[in-house]
Amino acid sequence: MTVHNRITLFRTERGLSRKDLAALVGVNPQTIGFLERGGYSPSVELALRLARVFGVPLDALFSLDPFPSLADQLGGLPLKPQGEFR
């Protein structure tokens, strides 16, 4: 079963590189890359360490179901047609 995550979203929002995040949770930067791409499911311990670093509940960071897009979460706000940016 695939474990979906928002590691990239939280990492970039906080201005962390993969190397920075890896150092904070005690893993190799490649592990962060594998996690972000969904090629690796974290241990419970690693998942908890990541959630602690970001200061979020575990279910905000990991899910067995795909996360809804941010646009869907924001109510599917309609985009303005191109050229109407006023």
pLDDT in tens, 41-62: 999 999 999 999 999 999 999 9
- The pLDDT value recorded for residue 42 is 96
Under the banding of pLDDT at 50, 70 and 90, the label for residue 85 is: low
Distances (CA, A) of 17 to 7, 35, 61, 76: 11, 14, 17, 30
User: How many other β-carbons are positioned within 10 Å of the β-carbon of residue 75?
Assistant: 7
Nearest residue to 5 (alpha-carbon basis) of 65, 61, 48: 61
Question: Is the CATH number of domain 4-59 1.10.260.40?
Answer: yes
Q: Where are the domains of the chain?
A: 4-59
